[in-house]
Every structure is written in structure tokens, then in C-alpha cells.
Amino acid sequence: MGGALKQTLQTLRRIASGLSERTIVALIHLCGISAIVFVFGIFFFVFREGSPFLRDIFDFRSFFLSEEWHPTSVVNRRYGILALLAGTGSVTVMAMLVAIPFGLGTAVFLSQFCGRRTREALKIMVELLAAVPSVVWGFIGLMVMNPLIVRLTGAPIGLNVLNAGIVVGLMSAPIIVSIAEDAIRAVPDTYVEAAEALGATRWQLVYRVVLPAAKSGLLAAVLLGVGRAVGETMAVLMATGHSIHIPFTAEAPFFHPLESVRTLTATIAAELGEAPRLDTGPGGIFPVEARHYQSLFVIGMALFAITFLISVTADLIVKGIRRKA
């Protein structure tokens, strides 16, 4: 009798565990595809909020090619993001001027010129550098770099392209370091050994063999660094100085690092809080429109598209390397 009971219990337990197993496997599959759902979700919801703007007044020329961004003006409302694009562009270029040489240099040093212990220690440092929150970087730009730049360059204000560029450069350097180091490590040992057997020094090895062999990986690293710099928000919000204008002129086609700008990301962060989602309707002294709010989502879509392209390109490059290896 007891045996039969035990048998029944065991059967029941087996059925239960079979059921729970099926549930968990279904759950695993569901979570597996969640990343796709979220990417589409991001696109969908950002698009959804921005769509009235796209439908009603969006026009490629006046949106992308005009530098007049007056979303809250009463008489002369304009939504042109050229100056914001220029701001993002100039900060990104400045950041890359800092991050590419130092990032790649550090990657080369880590993989070729130092011992195992030094490398471990430096890699931990790089990891910690990557962990510093962007708002802390912004704070550093605001409180530390700002007076420093004023003192060193005599600029009237230290919140400018130079400041934001250095800060964002330091932020995107770690990702460049880690991916470039992986790329350099992926260079087949046989190349290195062959060159060493021919009597090449370390430097010749790096310059003639390793860097050329790793160049697409280094390109991917730089691309991801650019993606990081374009998408950075808090640091540029706090360190660029909030001035919507194009930091270069026809006479001096190179941008002026000491001018203040405003980036795409910073614009969203700075204005979304004050842009009402719904029209308040006519009447009142300052009738606000939801257009402003919607236009910020359209900027978001542009950012999404830019980073999407960058990520996909970098991923294709990295995959290509792996297939060859």
C-alpha cells in the first residue's frame, strides 16, 4: 500500500517536473528573443511619439539643413537641427582626437610592450575608467575642467567643445582599448613568430605586422568609440555650454574648440522636461504646442538610426575577422 502511494507520488512529481521543465524552456526561448522585441519596441515607441511631427510638418531640408532651432519661439518657430548635428559632430571629432591615439596606443602597449602583471593591473584600471558614470564625468567637466580651461586658454568660458571632447574622449577610450586589444590578440601567432624569426624588433613587429593584420578590428574599435561618443548624454549636457550654433565658419572651416555648442543628445535631455506632450490649445499668452515634444522624439530617431548603423557596421567587421581567423 505504502509502496503504491510512493509510486504514485513519484509519478506525480515526475509529471510536475516535466511540466515545469517545459515552462522554463518556453520561458528561455521567450527571453531569448526579447532582445529583438526590445529593439523593435524602442524604434516603435520613439516613432509613435514622434510620428505626428513627421506626418504634419517634417521636411528633410528644413529639419536637417537648417540651423535654426527655435522650438519655443512664439513668432518664429523653427525646427532645424543642423547646429545640433554640428555640435555632436564637433564634440565627437574632438573626443576621437583624444580617444583614438590614446586608446590605440594603450591597446598596443597592453598587448605588446608590457608584462603579464602590468597588463592585468592596467586592464583593471581601464575597466574602472569605463565604469565612471557619465554624470560624474559631466560634473568633472563642469567643476574641474571648466576653470582649468579658462585659466589655460583665456577663453571666456570653459564649457565648450574642448572640454566636452576631452571628457567624452576619456569616456570612449576604454571601449576602444578593450576591442582594439582583442583585435591585436587575434593576430595569428604564426605571423608574429615568423617576423621574430626574421629578426624584427617589437616595434617593427607592431608597425609592419601586427597593426596591418589587425586593422579591421581597430576600425571596429574606433567605430564603437564613435558610437559611444555620439550617444553620450549627461557629460555633454553638463560640459558643452548650451549654445546652439555651428562652431565653424566659412573662413575657418575647422571648428573652434573653444566655442560652446549643444549636441543632439543634450538637446533632448535639456528640453524634454519642458516640452508638453499635449497641445494646451489656443488662448493663453504663450500657447504651447506638442510639436516641440514630438520633434525631440524625431531627433531620438535620428540618433537611433546613427548608432544602429554604427553598431551593425562594427559588428559586421568583427564577425568578418572571426570568420577569417
Partner 1 sequence: MVNNVKIEIRGLSVSYGLRPALHGISLDIPARGIFAIIGPANSGKSTLLKCVNRTVEFERGARVRGEVRIDGVNVFRSGNVYALRRRIGMVFPLPVGLPLSVYDNVAYAPRMAGLRDRRALDDVVERCLRQAALWEEVKDRLTSLGTLLSGGQQQRLTIARALSHDPEILCLDEFSIAIDPVTTMRIEDVLTQLKSRMTIVLVTNLVQQARRLGDLTCFLNRGEVVQVDRTAMIFSDRPGNQLTYDYTRGIFG
Partner 2 sequence: MNDPVVPAPALSLFRATSFTRKKIRVQKAAGILFGAMACALLVPLLALVVYLVVNAWPALTWEFLTDVPQGGMRRGGIWPALIGTLYLVVFSRLFSTPVGVLAGVYLNEYAKDNWLTRVVNLAVVNLAGVPSIVHALFGVGAFVIFAGLGKSVLAASLTLAIMTLPVMIVATREALAAVPMAFRVACWNLGASRWQTIRTIVLPNSIGGILTGVILEVCRAAGETAPIMFTGAIFFKAVERWDFFPYSPREQCMALSYHLHAISTQVPGVPEPMLYATAVVLLGFVLAFNSLAIVVRFRMRQRKKW
Is the C-alpha dihedral spanning 46, 47, 53, 59 positive or negative? positive
Which grid cell sits at 48?
509613435
Nearest residue (CB) to partner 2, 243 versus 248: 243
Least distance CB 23 / partner 1 (angstroms): 17
Q: How far is the CB of 158 from partner 2 (least distance, A)?
A: 14
Q: Kindly tell me which of 22 and 48 has the beta carbon lying closer to partner 1.
A: 22
Q: Which does 218 bind (CB under 5 to 8 A by kind): partner 2, partner 1, none?
A: none
Q: Is there a contact between 271 and 71 (Cβ–Cβ < 8 Å)?
A: yes
Please report whether residue 322 would count as binding partner 1 according to CB under 8 A.
no
CB 224 within 8 A of CB 310: yes
H helical segments located in the chain: 2-32, 34-56, 60-64, 82-108, 116-131, 134-140, 146-153, 161-185, 189-197, 202-204, 211-213, 215-231, 234-239, 264-271, 291-324
Q: List, in order, residues 6 or more apart from 229 with CB less than 8 Å away.
A: 91, 92, 95, 96, 99, 168, 169, 171, 172
Which one, 10 or 280, has the nearer CB to partner 1?
Answer: 10
The answer to whether residue 78 forms part of the interface with partner 1 (CB under 8 A) is no
- Selection from partner 2, partner 1, none that 321 binds (CB < 5 to 8 A by kind) is none
C-alpha cell at 221: 574599435
DSSP assignment letter at 283: -
Of residues 10-69, those binding partner 1 (CB under 8 A): 10, 13-14, 17
Residues 6+ apart with CB under 8 A from 277: 49, 290, 293
CB of 14 to partner 1, least distance (A): 5
Q: Which is nearer to partner 2, 119 or 256 (CB)?
A: 119
Burial string for 183-221 (b: 16+ CB within 10 Å, else e) reads bbeebeeeebeebeeeebeeeebbeebbbebbeebbbbb
Q: Which does 13 bind (CB under 5 to 8 A by kind): partner 2, partner 1, none?
A: partner 1
Write down the least CB distance from residue 62 to partner 2, Å: 22
Identify whether the C-beta of residue 174 lies closer than 8 Å to the C-beta of residue 277.
no
Closest CB 259 distance from partner 2, rounded Å: 20
- Between 13 and 151, name the residue whose CB sits nearer to partner 1: 13
CA distance 19 to 22: 5
Q: How far is the CB of 9 from partner 1 (least distance, A)?
A: 10
Measured from the CB atom, is 202 or 249 closer to partner 2? 202
Nearest distance from C-beta of residue 272 to partner 2, angstroms: 5
Q: Which does 10 bind (CB under 5 to 8 A by kind): partner 1, partner 2, none?
A: partner 1
Identify what 87 binds: partner 1, partner 2, none; CB under 5 to 8 Å per kind.
none
d(CA 141, CA 127): 20
> Least separation, in Å, of the C-beta of 268 and partner 2?
5
Select from partner 2, partner 1, none the partner in contact with residue 201, using the beta carbon and a kind-dependent cut-off of 5 to 8 Å. partner 2
**In angstroms, rounded to a whole number, what is the distance separating the alpha carbons of residues 321 and 50?**
38
Q: Which residues bind partner 1 (CB under 8 A)?
A: 10, 13-14, 17
